[in-house]
Chains A and B, each alone.
Chain A
Amino acid sequence: MKRAVLALILTSALVVLSRASTEDAERALRTTVDQVLAVANKAKGGRTMAEQLTPILVRHICFESMTRRAVGPGWRQFTPEQKTEATDLFTKLIIRSYSEKFTPGERPEIKYLKASSPGAGKVEIPTTTVYKGNRYNVTYRLEDRGKWLVTDILAEGVSFVANYRAQFDALVKKGGAVAVLDSLRQSVART
């Protein structure tokens, strides 16, 4: 009997903790999205948009984790200096790519759907986003790293991280960390 009560209390405690986590994560995501949209609606597009969004995105997206996961197991071959450079370059690339998705004056309508927790400290928040008359399914992955940070974005099932992983894999096989860094430098330099 005692065991059953204990199990019930433990399960209830976990459910409460899990719900608190998903609520915290959702609150963090809403704050991020609201801040991004406030800036995106005022920005003029292109470089200006990326420059203005950078301080917000750096605060709410875990770029180190995104870079490490995008590179994959090849990350072990990187020296600490190469890891730092790769993260800096990939951060610039992601911010530029993300910023290009906004057309000034176009306000997306975002509906947050039921969040789920695929593991401890991880939350996935699906949304439906209506933008320029089109409906998109966008899922945000967040992790608790002291505070809730975005670690991946999936638009219509296409994961940012997985998409770059496929590209990095080929580069790591071809020329290791040097090839990855060369390619990142070229992509960032491209306008």
Chain B
Amino acid sequence: MKTLPLLVAGILALLVAGCANRRAEEPAAAAPSGKSAVAAQQVAAAAGEDDDWDDVAEVKAHDPIEPANRGIFWFNHQIYTFVAKPFSTAYEFVLPDLLRRGIRNAYENIRFPVRFVNHTLQGRLDRTAQETGRFLVNSTAGVGGVMKPADKIPALADVPKADTGQTLGKWGIPHGPYLVVPVLGPTSSRDLVGTAGDTALNPVAWLGLIFGGALWTTAVSAPSGAHGLPDQMDRYDLATKDALDPYISARTGYMQNRKAALER
């Protein structure tokens, strides 16, 4: 019989601990009066609010050339506003949504080697197999990747993306300085090297090399750039439009996103 009060007391203690934060935020009327009330509020504030602040995981960026980066960020903003956005709007206006999605899907499918190699280099052979399955299903049943029937197969539907910058991160190589590259936007020294690796693994770039000629390269790579532009513009707007400091918002957003990609 002695165990029952103990059990009840134990559960109550845990529930009280769980409510501590909420109590800390209840109005002062609930606290005792006079000096003790002030003290109670201070203690409650220290217990509740400080805990809250620790919950927010800040991702710091090493930004030794911030003034130069801010200058390029401003330049990019003009390019996005006066060139990329009008082009993106025209692209969305001219091509029907279904066709745009088909082009985007096909280019995503062609980039299969980037994901295949990087999952393998990261030692995630399960994901290599999933990616291969996705590629085969989408390339055949999806008519060259224009459609994504693999999304309907639960085992293949949600495979995290992989790129070379991510692989370098998994190998323990730090980001290095944060950079804003003209036109391309936010990156880090590590991810910039990664972008070069991704380009080398991208069959769209191989086709340009094989067939040569500026016209062919432009004909193949221009839609590749155009198809992603509306989404990129959406993301840029979301990161900067309601920001107090768009530069810091884009930088923090980039660093958090890359950290999450690495942990996935």
Partners in one complex: yes
- Determine the main DSSP class of A at the interface with B: helix
- A69 interface hit (Cβ, 8 Å): yes
Docked Cα-Cα span, A134 to B232, in Å, equals 12
* Interchain CB contact (< 8 A) of B242 among A17, A97, A144: A97
Residues of A within 8 A of B158 (CB): 128, 135
- A112 interface hit (Cβ, 8 Å): no
Q: Are A165 and B58 in contact (CB under 8 A)?
A: yes
B60 to A, closest residue via Cβ: A166
Docked Cα-Cα span, A65 to B49, in Å, equals 9
Q: Which residues from 6 to 27 on chain A have a C-beta closer than 8 Å to any C-beta of chain B?
A: 6, 9-10, 13-14, 17
- A145 interface hit (Cβ, 8 Å): yes
Docked Cα-Cα span, A13 to B8, in Å, equals 10
B11 to A, closest residue via Cβ: A13
Q: Are A159 and B14 in contact (CB under 8 A)?
A: no
Residues of B within 8 A of A5 (CB): 3
- A48 interface hit (Cβ, 8 Å): no
- B185 interface hit (Cβ, 8 Å): no
Which interface class (under 10, 10 to 19, 20 to 34, 35 or more) fits A? 35 or more
Q: Which residues from 226 to 260 on chain B have a C-beta closer than 8 Å to any C-beta of chain A?
A: 231, 237-239, 241-245, 248-249, 251-253, 256-257, 259-260
By the criterion of a CB under 8 Å from any partner CB, how many residues of chain B are at the interface? 47
- Determine the main DSSP class of B at the interface with A: helix
Residues of B within 8 A of A97 (CB): 238, 241-242
Residues of B within 8 A of A144 (CB): 18, 22
Residues of A within 8 A of B10 (CB): 10
Docked Cα-Cα span, A3 to B237, in Å, equals 59
Q: Which residues from 70 to 114 on chain A have a C-beta closer than 8 Å to any C-beta of chain B?
A: 70, 72-73, 75, 93, 96-97, 100-101
- A121 interface hit (Cβ, 8 Å): yes
B45 to A, closest residue via Cβ: A76
Residues of A within 8 A of B257 (CB): 156-158
Residues of A within 8 A of B59 (CB): 162
> Given A6-B6, A120-B17, A134-B231, are A159 and B53 also a contact pair (CB < 8 Å)?
no
Residues of B within 8 A of A143 (CB): 21
> Given A167-B245, A171-B244, are A72 and B53 also a contact pair (CB < 8 Å)?
yes
Q: Are A69 and B55 in contact (CB under 8 A)?
A: yes
- A68 interface hit (Cβ, 8 Å): yes
Docked Cα-Cα span, A187 to B253, in Å, equals 18
* Interchain CB contact (< 8 A) of B11 among A10, A130, A154: A10
Q: Are B242 and A93 in contact (CB under 8 A)?
A: yes
> Given A68-B52, A97-B241, are A121 and B11 also a contact pair (CB < 8 Å)?
no
For residue B239, give the distance in angstroms from its CB to the closest CB of chain A.
8
Chain B interface (Cβ within 8 Å of chain A)? 3, 6-7, 10-11, 14, 17-19, 21-22, 25, 49-50, 52-53, 55-59, 101, 104-105, 151, 158, 231, 237-239, 241-245, 248-249, 251-253, 256-257, 259-261, 263-264
A-B residue pairs in contact (CB < 8 Å), sample of 12: A10-B10, A17-B11, A68-B52, A93-B242, A121-B21, A133-B101, A158-B252, A162-B58, A163-B249, A164-B244, A165-B58, A166-B248
